[in-house]
Amino acid sequence: MRHDRISVFPIHPPVSLIVQKYGGTSMGSPERIREVARRVARFVDEGHRLVVVPSAMAGETNRLLGLAKELNPDASARELDVIASTGEQVSIGLLAIALQKLGVKAKSYTGWQVPILTDAAYTKARILAIEERNIREDLDAGSVVIVAGFQGIDDDDNITTLGRGGSDTTGVALAAALKADECQIYTDVDGVYTADPRIVPEARRLDTITFEEMLEAASLGSKVLQIRSVEFAGKYQVKLRVLSSFTDVASKDMGTLITFEEDENMEQAIISNVAHNRDEAKITVLGVPDRPGIAFAILGPIADANIDVDMIIQNASTEGLTDFSFTVHRNEYKRAMDILEKKVKPAIKAKGVEGDDHIAKVSLVGIGMRTHAGIAARMFKALAEEGINIQMISTSEIKTSVVVDEKYMELAVRVLHKTFELDKPPSKETMKP
Amino acid sequence: MRHDRISVFPIHPPVSLIVQKYGGTSMGSPERIREVARRVARFVDEGHRLVVVPSAMAGETNRLLGLAKELNPDASARELDVIASTGEQVSIGLLAIALQKLGVKAKSYTGWQVPILTDAAYTKARILAIEERNIREDLDAGSVVIVAGFQGIDDDDNITTLGRGGSDTTGVALAAALKADECQIYTDVDGVYTADPRIVPEARRLDTITFEEMLEAASLGSKVLQIRSVEFAGKYQVKLRVLSSFTDVASKDMGTLITFEEDENMEQAIISNVAHNRDEAKITVLGVPDRPGIAFAILGPIADANIDVDMIIQNASTEGLTDFSFTVHRNEYKRAMDILEKKVKPAIKAKGVEGDDHIAKVSLVGIGMRTHAGIAARMFKALAEEGINIQMISTSEIKTSVVVDEKYMELAVRVLHKTFELDKPPSKETMKP
């Protein structure tokens, strides 16, 4: 894209509108904030127009919510948002004055000053609309505009927050509203990897990953981006890039670009990465009568208790009885078991309820799976050769997940990374189906 | 007032609307915030309607401004206000949830949510108007309303702050707007004293002090109330009370009430208190030609440099020459001397400029001075008997101030406290002129 522009207008440099989001670690100290300011200034020097979304300084949100919890463990969500939103407000002011110190014109905006309108779901609000007129005026006046992440207001002028990682969503939503050329997410990792480098030392950084793959990877526990921000980017076709704020300011390292599948001439491997997640627990209801409505009879009470269910598996029935398995977040495991034992089991006359909260989910993610047969089979074979028992299997178009005993998680990730040669850059040949 | 109401409506207890302001030390820790909540709850239990204005937790504003200064010593005032205003925002949320924990309905308001409208003078804004409709609705709905002190917004929705001690002004302004029965300022001292108890152990707490006396005492460095809040209270006739948040919650101690002079049946001493101030420096321009316009020729350049002048004294002239003395804040001393030496002295052909930044101002304050002759004479005699040389004298209707060598300050305060028997409660006789 950039090159196209340069060739069309060779004399004028390409001026683009970039939204940059900086995470809490990037904003963690005055020295770190100065680094962020220098990075922003570099882009300004290159002629770009910038909207910057900083998170709260690392640790600040936890400190604030810790104070709140000490005073009232059941605090009203409205007031928690009043408290928590101050972290980002401090950050926008500090970043603005750090930029001014470098001679860069900068102006800060809280969520309500933009305004960023959300629903009224305190602590996990969703952005409904962004009024971009004020920001655009300041950009036109030559200012860097700094917008507080993570926050907004509802229809009644109450302060809301978007939940953990919400600043990613603020960045993407602003990029969508402003039709920015790119949304850059600066964090303490320098991109998306083929696997967690702490588990697989040979893990390789991906230059690109598709939105679909990123969505699967994010929901599997890769902590790089808030999943909602990725959905948002997909919905509004925002070009999203994950980069490190810890590389040298002058570095032209471009991290990992999250692309749309349609970008055909991107290099694309069959398998993008191996993701893992040890936040889940497995529950099996045994000896369930195999009749219509049984899945709802089991999962209805779980949903009523506001417990999210991830994988769901129902085996073929034997003699009119089947086993019904699913996974929940480990934090909800006890509560879910309780509901099943006390309410569901007697109601549906199941034979028993079993649970295990020492499991891990390991997944292969890659859009190549759609067109390549035999990926799952190779995956199961590789795990079997290492003696790793598969407890559950679930597949989507671009992902195959297995549940294994938690103690085999690292081994499974390494085996799959090796089997699918993720340490090697994809060749042009492997790209084509 | 309260007794009148009780006798008129003997069955219904008197329900009043009270604005309570709590200082930073009172909000200094979760434990202290719980104490504030218990105190507020007691008033609610007694049937009062409450609006509460908390300051930022002690040290928080300095921490935030310290971060800002580290990043940019010449930070834009707009951004400093964005940063500093978060301290109070955290406090309102924390106090709201602490009250909710006690079963008291409570809702927080930031400055912009009220809204509290100010001028655009960042870091020292003045309140122009308060829209009290939202607050009144919540009060009617049975809520304690908690409003962030120290902050507001200007016409363009920029965040402003009111300067140090600004939460006092927020409290008084809210009391004025809501026509509250009383504005209670809770602080770490339990009232206004006849002198600083650290200097005069026998200093006595005053049950009442007039607004005029309080204004003089505040401007003389008594740190109990922000001077602007006292002016505000005087202007809008808000009944103001200074109390301690460190007394037992159940205590009925009523601190010091700041009264209007018109409250005739209040006990009223001739002298209210001895105030002191060591923040000033003295400057004398010697051998100045005594001609019209000379005061302006000296003080004009000082005012142009934005240096505030406190006492101004011009002696009678001898042979057409006079000495011209004034005091400035000690922080401005060097800058003022510089201007006088370099600009003023050559321009007006003065003989010399002398300065002394080791002085202290000691003042007697009392509305009784208006009607009692000889107070100043007794004051000068008492100081002379202790060998304390008076360097400058300045008087107002209800105050007599002297400048002495700094080393005599404590002695002077003690001598005057004793001479005017401020350790003894005023008798009815001493009250009447």
Closest residue, chain A, to B65 (C-alpha): A94
At residue B48, the pLDDT reads 96
Task: Kindly state whether residues A288 and A371 are assigned to the same domain.
Answer: yes
In the structure, what pLDDT confidence band is assigned to residue B39 with cuts at 50, 70 and 90?
very high
Task: Kindly state whether residues B200 and B306 are assigned to the same domain.
Answer: no
Q: Chain A window 34-93: which residues touch B at a Cβ cutoff of 8 Å? A: 34, 64, 67-68, 70-72, 74-76, 78-80, 82-83, 85-86, 89-90, 92-93
pLDDT > 60? residue B4: no
pLDDT > 90? residue A200: yes
At residue B264, the pLDDT reads 53
- B315: contact with A, CB 8 A cutoff: no
Task: Kindly state whether residues B53 and B199 are assigned to the same domain.
Answer: yes
Q: CA of B426: how far to CAs of B210, B261, B266, B368, B397, in Å?
A: 14, 16, 11, 12, 20
Rounded CA gap, A388 and A385, in Å?
A: 8
Mean pLDDT in chain B? 88
Closest residue, chain A, to B156 (C-alpha): A113
Answer whether A83 sits within 8 Å of B101, measured CB to CB: no
pLDDT tens per residue, range B244-284: 888 888 888 889 998 876 555 555 678 999 999 998 999 99
pLDDT > 90? residue A415: yes
Structural domain for A191, as ranges: 2-267
Of B71, B89, B113, the CB nearest to A97: B71
At residue B429, the pLDDT reads 44
Gyration radius of chain B's alpha carbons: 24
Of residues A259 and B362, the one with the higher pLDDT is: B362
Instruction: Residue A85: list chain B partners with CB under 8 A.
Output: 89
pLDDT > 70? residue B432: no
Task: Kindly state whether residues B217 and B281 are assigned to the same domain.
Answer: no
Q: Which of A347, A377, A353, A351 is nearest to A364 (CA)?
A: A377
Of B34, B72, B94, the CB nearest to A97: B72
At residue A427, the pLDDT reads 61
Residue A379 Cα, gap to closest chain B Cα (Å): 51
Answer whether B86 sits within 8 Å of A90, measured CB to CB: yes
DSSP string, A149-206: SSEEE-TTS-EEE--TTHHHHHHHHHHHHHT-SEEEEEESS-S-BSS-TTT-TT--B-
Which amino acid is it at B246? F
β-pair type (A116-118, B127-130): unpaired
Q: Which of A9-23, B118-132, B341-355 has the lowest mean pLDDT?
A: A9-23
In the structure, what pLDDT confidence band is assigned to residue A377 with cuts at 50, 70 and 90?
confident
Instruction: Residue B79: list chain A partners with CB under 8 A.
Output: 93-94, 96-97, 100, 108
Residue A430 lies in a domain: no
Q: Which of A270-274, B135-139, B147-151, B335-339 has the lowest mean pLDDT?
A: A270-274
Contact criterion met (CB below 8 Å) for A357 and A403:
no
Answer whether A110 sits within 8 Å of B82, measured CB to CB: yes
C-beta neighbour count of A349 within 10 angstroms? 9
Q: Chain A window 88-147: which residues touch B at a Cβ cutoff of 8 Å? A: 89-90, 92-94, 96-98, 100-101, 107-108, 110, 112-113
Contacts across the A-B interface (CB distance below 8 Å): 109
pLDDT > 50? residue A8: no
pLDDT > 70? residue A306: yes
The side-by-side arrangement of strands in the sheet containing B17-22 is B106-109, B144-147, B49-54, B17-22, B182-187, B240-244, B256-259, B208-210
Q: CA of A270: how far to CAs of A165, A431, B193, in Å?
A: 29, 7, 81
Closest residue, chain A, to B75 (C-alpha): A97
Where does A200-326 have alpha helices with state H? 211-219, 227-236, 294-304
Answer whether B92 sits within 8 Å of A82, measured CB to CB: yes
Of residues A61 and A214, the one with the higher pLDDT is: A61
Residue A80 Cα, gap to closest chain B Cα (Å): 7
Task: Kindly state whether residues A60 and A11 are assigned to the same domain.
Answer: yes
Please give the biggest Cα pair distance in chain B: 78
Q: What is the mean pLDDT of residues B290-311?
A: 87
Residue A116 Cα, gap to closest chain B Cα (Å): 14
Q: Which of A267, A283, A303 is the last residue of a domain?
A: A267
Residue B191 Cα, gap to closest chain A Cα (Å): 29
pLDDT tens per residue, range B400-431: 899 999 999 999 999 999 999 999 887 644 44
Of B30, B89, B159, the CB nearest to A71: B30
**CATH number of the domain within which A255 lies:** 3.40.1160.10
At residue B11, the pLDDT reads 41
Residue A334 Cα, gap to closest chain B Cα (Å): 27
In the structure, what pLDDT confidence band is assigned to residue B231 with cuts at 50, 70 and 90?
confident
Rounded CA gap, A169 and A234, in Å?
A: 12
Closest residue, chain B, to A83 (C-alpha): B90
Task: Kindly state whether residues A32 and A128 are assigned to the same domain.
Answer: yes
Q: B225-249 burial, b for 16+ CB within 10 Å, e for fewer?
A: bbbbbbbbbbeeebbbbbbbbeeee
Answer whether B30 sits within 8 Å of A96, measured CB to CB: no
Task: Kindly state whether residues A172 and A108 are assigned to the same domain.
Answer: yes
Rounded CA gap, B92 and B147, in Å?
A: 7
- Chosen for mutation from B31, B57, B79, B80 (greatest number of chain A CBs closer than 10 Å) is B79
Residues of chain B with pLDDT > 90: what percent? Answer: 64
pLDDT tens per residue, range A241-273: 999 888 888 888 889 998 876 555 555 678 999
Instruction: Residue A157: list chain B partners with CB under 8 A.
Output: 113
Instruction: Residue A89: list chain B partners with CB under 8 A.
Output: 82-83, 85-86, 89
Task: Kindly state whether residues A102 and A17 are assigned to the same domain.
Answer: yes
Eight-class DSSP state of A28: S
Task: Kindly state whether residues B306 and B200 are assigned to the same domain.
Answer: no
Task: Kindly state whether residues A239 and A316 are assigned to the same domain.
Answer: no
Class of residue A62 by CB neighbours under 10 A (exposed 0-12, middle 13-18, buried 19+): middle
Where does A195-293 have alpha helices with state H? 211-219, 227-236
pLDDT > 70? residue B219: no
At residue B292, the pLDDT reads 80
Give me the number of domains chain A comprises.
2
Q: Chain A window 163-222: which residues touch B at a Cβ cutoff of 8 Å? A: none
In the structure, what pLDDT confidence band is assigned to residue A222 with cuts at 50, 70 and 90?
low
Q: Which of A189, A179, A162, A183 is nearest to A171 (CA)?
A: A183
Task: Kindly state whether residues A252 and A309 are assigned to the same domain.
Answer: no
Q: CA of A305: how far to CAs of A164, A324, A343, in Å?
A: 22, 19, 12
Q: Which of A21-25, A63-67, A193-197 has the lowest mean pLDDT?
A: A193-197
Task: Kindly state whether residues A207 and A294 are assigned to the same domain.
Answer: no
Answer whether B71 sits within 8 Å of A113, measured CB to CB: no
Of residues B367 and A120, the one with the higher pLDDT is: A120
At residue B94, the pLDDT reads 98
Residue A427 lies in a domain: no
pLDDT tens per residue, range A324-359: 899 999 999 999 999 999 999 999 999 999 999 999
Q: Which of A206, A236, A267 is the last residue of a domain?
A: A267
B370's tokens: 């208006």
Instruction: Residue B89: list chain A partners with CB under 8 A.
Output: 82-83, 85-86, 89
Mean pLDDT in chain A? 88
Residue A92 Cα, gap to closest chain B Cα (Å): 8
**Residue carrying the six token digits 């229809």:** A155
In the structure, what pLDDT confidence band is assigned to residue B338 with cuts at 50, 70 and 90?
very high
**CATH number of the domain within which B414 lies:** 3.30.2130.10
Residues of chain A with pLDDT > 90: what percent? Answer: 64
Residue A298 lies in a domain: yes
Task: Specify the DSSP element, H or E, that contains B429.
Answer: helix B428-431
pLDDT tens per residue, range B188-207: 888 889 998 899 999 999 99
B239's tokens: 């009944």
pLDDT > 60? residue B228: yes
Instruction: Residue A83: list chain B partners with CB under 8 A.
Output: 89-90, 93-94
At residue A4, the pLDDT reads 37
Instruction: Residue A30: list chain B partners with CB under 8 A.
Output: 67, 70-71
At residue A109, the pLDDT reads 98
Of A67, A80, A89, the CB nearest to B30: A67
Q: Which of B265, B284, B308 is the last residue of a domain?
A: B265
pLDDT > 70? residue B89: yes
Class of residue A250 by CB neighbours under 10 A (exposed 0-12, middle 13-18, buried 19+): exposed
Of residues A234 and A136, the one with the higher pLDDT is: A136
